[in-house]
């Protein structure tokens, strides 16, 4: 009988003096592939860091590796043989001020480093090119990784993980923010990888369970239970909401060309949103959805000749951002600071990152109202830096709501949220819609689209393929559930 690759006996883990994993007893055997379930804050990401050796267990517990034929408690060799693809790794590259190409990021996986300092052998460069080709990324290999879509960056990080030929591959919420065709393609890629590599992956969606999965475990408040949880299906947002369309133009976009870092991203965009409308923006990874959201808010500007008007007038970026709040995946890393979560939420009054001026009595009352509405009392005083991806997403949603914007743009806003959190937000956002808040929703999952949407736009390679009433949207343009 073969020895387990990893043995955990009575393992506890603390983060910032708070115990987050409790008395774990678990073995990972060769040939196993595990699905890891758990609600937001249950400890899934911490569990992966423990498995890889990035975190030490508390004294008294046993973590023993056997990846080389010799049992050891040292994680040094384990880190060379266990690869991790995580939202935190993706966010790290977004934080940097210097350019790194997709190819350079992949090559760093040879050295378990985040930056590329070493000389690269030609055979390794060929291997990297081959992986990028396998993952449909050849045309992007010289593109700055910060300029890629969320789904494209995810594939780059998978190539980075695979270039070192790991024995164990850890995938933390890997399919969040990945479009339907890419999900289907990546599942086939991982099925091939599973023939030679043990895979552990976390997910909130049973629909994302991979076909080669042999075992499942669930983390509940840091405790490990073998088996799958009982899954809840969240309702569509804003069930039963009735909208009234006034016909007044809220925002209009007329932009022949829009560039990001000298790359043409959007072409011939003509779009109007009227008061009372709720829009879906659909399209594959890299089609320009997030760029359009930033264009509407004037975080980006069109090329010469383009116009973005609010109520028929040119307005400043400050006015635009106050009227159009944004919840997006690339905000996560900027707000994960060592300040209480309520500070992050309150920064929504000022569209500011971090600490801010004292709040007025009216703002304090509004802040407490939103924290209660979204049931964030338990995490409001915790440092944002230690919150899980899902908990941080809740905080950013609250940050968008607190300033009473006219429109909230939700760019993959339900990624990383568990079923209970999704149900909470469906109710809260439905209430907001009935009181006049409008939504622009960017999503890849049909379950992440509000029921009260009135219109849809489909982007393909930066151009509008469809724009109009959602009931007339061709079925083939709907994202997968």
Three-state SS for 407? strand
Which tokens sit at 57? 């267990």
Q: Contact, 266 vs 288, CB < 8 A?
A: yes
State the pLDDT at residue 481.
43
Q: Contact, 244 vs 260, CB < 8 A?
A: no
51-80 b/e (C-beta count within 10 Å ≥ 16 → b): bbbebebeeebebbbbbeeeeeeebeebeb
State the pLDDT at residue 241.
44
Of 45, 44, 9, 42, whose CA–CA distance to 26 is shortest?
Answer: 9
- The secondary structure of 229-273 as a DSSP string is PPP--PPPTTTT--------EEEEEEEEEEEETTEEEEEEEEEEE
**Domains of the chain from N-terminus onward:** 6-226 (3.40.50.300), 249-477 (3.40.50.300)
Question: CA-CA distance, 288 to 291, in Å (whole number)?
Answer: 5
Helix, strand, coil percent values for the chain (each to nearest 5): 35, 25, 40
Q: Contact, 7 vs 63, CB < 8 A?
A: yes
The whole model's pTM is what?
0.72
Of 65, 103, 61, 59, whose CA–CA distance to 82 is shortest?
Answer: 65
- The secondary structure of 3-14 as a DSSP string is PPSEEEEEEEEE
Q: Where are the alpha helices (DSSP H) in 287-444?
A: 289-296, 317-323, 332-335, 341-346, 361-373, 389-402, 419-434
CA angle (237 as vertex; 233, 242 as ends), nearest 5: 140
Three-state SS for 200? strand
State the pLDDT at residue 364.
95
**Per-block mean pLDDT, blocks of 10 residues, the chain (481 long):** 89 90 96 93 92 94 94 92 92 82 95 87 95 94 89 93 97 86 90 97 84 95 88 49 64 92 90 93 88 91 90 89 85 82 92 82 94 90 86 88 92 76 74 86 76 90 93 68 43
Distance from the first to the final alpha carbon of the chain: 41
Residue 411 CA to chain centroid, in angstroms? Answer: 10
State the pLDDT at residue 237.
39
Which residues, listed in sequence order, are joined to residue 202 by a DSSP beta bridge? 36, 172
Which tokens sit at 434? 């009935």
309-328 b/e (C-beta count within 10 Å ≥ 16 → b): ebeeeebeeeebbbbbbbbb
Q: Contact, 427 vs 367, CB < 8 A?
A: no
Question: CA-CA distance, 317 to 320, in Å (whole number)?
Answer: 5
């Amino acid at each position: 009988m073969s020895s387990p690759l990893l043995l955990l006996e009575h393992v506890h883990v603390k983060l910032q003096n708070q115990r987050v994993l409790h008395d774990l007893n678990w073995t990972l055997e060769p040939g196993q592939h595990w699905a890891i379930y758990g609600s937001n804050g249950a400890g899934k990401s911490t569990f992966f860091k423990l498995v890889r050796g990035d975190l030490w267990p508390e004294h008294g517990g046993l973590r023993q590796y056997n990846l080389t034929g010799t049992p050891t408690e040292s994680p040094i060799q384990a880190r060379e043989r266990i690869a991790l693809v995580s939202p935190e790794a993706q966010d790290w590259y977004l934080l940097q001020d210097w350019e790194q190409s997709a190819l350079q990021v992949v090559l760093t996986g040879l050295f378990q480093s985040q930056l590329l300092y070493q000389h690269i052998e030609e055979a390794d460069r060929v291997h990297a090119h081959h992986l990028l080709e396998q993952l449909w990324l050849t045309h992007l290999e010289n593109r700055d990784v910060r300029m890629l879509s969320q789904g494209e960056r995810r594939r780059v990080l998978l190539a980075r993980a695979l270039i070192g030929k790991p024995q164990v591959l850890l995938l933390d919420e890997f399919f969040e923010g990945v479009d339907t065709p890419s999900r289907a393609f990546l599942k086939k890629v991982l099925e091939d990888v599973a023939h030679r590599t043990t895979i552990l992956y976390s997910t909130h969606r049973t629909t994302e369970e991979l076909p080669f999965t042999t075992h499942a475990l669930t983390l509940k408040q840091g405790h490990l239970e073998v088996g799958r949880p009982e899954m809840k299906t969240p309702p569509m947002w804003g069930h039963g909401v009735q909208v009234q369309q006034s016909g007044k133009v809220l925002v209009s976009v007329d932009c022949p060309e829009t560039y990001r870092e000298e790359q043409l991203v959007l072409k011939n965009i003509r779009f109007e949103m009227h008061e009372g409308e709720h829009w879906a923006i659909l399209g594959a990874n890299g089609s320009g959805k997030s760029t359009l959201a930033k264009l509407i808010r004037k975080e980006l500007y069109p090329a010469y000749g383009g116009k973005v008007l609010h109520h028929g007038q040119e307005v400043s970026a400050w006015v635009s951002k106050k009227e159009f709040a944004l919840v997006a995946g690339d905000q996560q890393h900027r707000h994960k600071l060592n300040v209480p979560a309520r500070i992050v939420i309150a920064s929504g009054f000022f569209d500011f990152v971090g600490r801010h001026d004292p709040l007025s009595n009216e703002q304090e009352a509004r802040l407490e109202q939103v924290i209660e509405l979204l049931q964030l009392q338990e995490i409001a005083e915790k440092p944002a830096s230690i919150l899980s991806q899902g908990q941080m997403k809740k905080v950013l949603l609250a940050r968008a709501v607190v300033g009473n914007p006219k429109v909230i743009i939700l760019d993959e806003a339900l990624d990383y949220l568990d079923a209970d959190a999704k149900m909470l937000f469906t109710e809260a956002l439905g209430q907001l819609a009935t009181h006049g808040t409008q939504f622009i929703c960017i999503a890849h999952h049909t379950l992440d689209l509000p029921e009260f949407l009135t219109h849809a736009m489909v982007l393909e390679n930066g151009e509008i393929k469809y724009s109009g009433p959602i009931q007339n949207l061709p079925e083939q343009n709907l994202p997968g559930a």
